[in-house]
Structure formats: C-alpha cells, structure tokens
Chains A and B, each alone.
Chain A
Amino acid sequence: DGGITQSPKYLFRKEGQNVTLSCEQNLNHDAMYWYRQDPGQGLRLIYYSQIVNDFQKGDIAEGYSVSREKKESFPLTVTSAQKNPTAFYLCASSFGDRGDYGYTFGSGTRLTVV
C-alpha cells in the first residue's frame, strides 16, 4: 500500500546536537512538506519542496535544513541553532500542482530536548 513513513516515532536530542528526521513516501507525489506542531497550536510550515533538488523556506525555517535528492525522500535536520526544538514534527506529501487532493501526512516524529 502507498503511504508516507516517518521515523523515528520518538527522538531525544541533547543540547547542541543535530538530529535528522526521516520522511519517505511511495505515493509518487511531487511535493513534500515539513510542519511543526506545538501543543495547542496549529501547523507551522518549516520547509517545502515542489520537485527533486529544489526546496523553499516556509514560515519558520531558522534552525532547520532539508534536502531533496530523491523524489521519495525529504529528510529534515534540526540543527543546534534551533533553540526550542521540542515539538511534534509532521511530514506531508501531495501532487503539488493539483490543488484538489489535499495532503497525506506521515505518522509524525515527537522530538524532545533532554
């Protein structure tokens, strides 16, 4: 079955450490997105990618980096420059240019700073 897979489900980061969250999809979607969700808040866009080897900053890109080397994969690195990284991270994908299908979300990664 097609879907979008995020790993790990839970991640613990020490102060000053970079961590990478994985996102893989087999839906043949062109576009992929990373969102952050904090308790009681909506989804905030970190980065998005319309096609391979291209990505754009979202509303809260500072302290994060991404790559899009393959259509199926869009990993997110949370760098030490991100001062408050504890949150629920959601990866999503869509057909991109077809605005009527919405997003498919992965199951999320919960990141905690220890």
Chain B
Amino acid sequence: QKEVEQNSGPLSVPEGAIASLNCTYSDRVSQSFFWYRQYSGKSPELIMSIYSNGDKEDGRFTAQLNKASQYVSLLIRDSQPSDSATYLCAVNPPNTGFQKLVFGTGTRLLVSP
C-alpha cells in the first residue's frame, strides 16, 4: 500500500462547479497535511495546510481532514479554468522531530469554460 494515494484523474468539472479532490494516507498517526498545486511544467506551490480534524477554509479553497478515516480532501468552489492543474497531497509522517513530506502522485483537474 502506498503511503499517500490519490486518484490520478483527470477530474473534469465545468466552470463554476465545485471540484472535490481526495487523498488517503496509510500512517494513522501522521501529523500534518498539505495541498500543493502544480501547473504543467512548473514547480509545486503550497495552497493549503491542515493539522486538525474538520474543515479549514481559505477563499475558494476548503481543506477537510478526517484522521479516523485517514483521508484529507480539497474542495475548490466556483472552479475557474485557471484552476486546471495537478494537485498534490503531502503528508508529514509521525513526528521524528524533522519534517520529511511524503507526496501522492497527484490528481489532474480540468476546468472547462
């Protein structure tokens, strides 16, 4: 079992819809979770982080964490064509006193006008 799993997609949504991206992780005691957006040919950029169960909202983005079920999701409201990118989920494994993120392979999102 991979440590961090994501559906590779593509996930296609029309402009204005809600895009829902999901990620599961294998280590129950993982501490912190991150969502990165990567445009084609570019480097990843951090868009959301979450550490506690529940929802965290930032503009059109909402991260949701459920540690009991070991999943973290990203919702993008009012999706725009500019949101078309690959979204990487990253998990910080149990505390070793040092941050060493484990990345999923990413979900490709396509937002059509």
In the complex, which of the residues A90, A95, A98 contacts B44, with contact meaning CB atoms closer than 8 Å?
A90
Query: CB of A8 within 8 A of chain B?
Result: no
Q: Is the CB of A99 within 8 A of B95?
A: yes
A10-54 vs B, Cβ < 8 Å mask (1 yes, 0 no)? 000000000000000000000101010000111101001010000
- Interface residue range, chain B: 20 to 34
Measured in the bound complex, the distance between the Cα atoms of B92 and A48 in whole Å is 15
Minimum Cβ distance to chain B for residue A106 (Å): 6
Q: A99-B92, A102-B90, A105-B44 are in contact. Are A31 and B99 (CB under 8 A)?
A: yes
- Interface residue range, chain A: 20 to 34
Minimum Cβ distance to chain B for residue A84 (Å): 18
Residues of the A chain whose Cβ atoms lie less than 8 Å from the Cβ of B31: 99
Q: Is the CB of A96 within 8 A of B99?
A: yes
Query: CB of B113 within 8 A of chain A?
Result: no
Q: Is the CB of B42 within 8 A of A45?
A: no
Q: Is the CB of A43 within 8 A of B103?
A: yes
Which residues between 54 and 71 of chain A lie within 8 Å of chain B, taking CB atoms? none
A89-114 vs B, Cβ < 8 Å mask (1 yes, 0 no)? 01000111111111111111000000
18 CB < 8 A contacts A-B: A31-B98, A42-B88, A42-B103, A42-B105, A43-B44, A43-B88, A43-B103, A99-B32, A99-B95, A101-B49, A102-B46, A102-B49, A102-B90, A103-B90, A103-B99, A105-B43, A105-B44, A107-B42
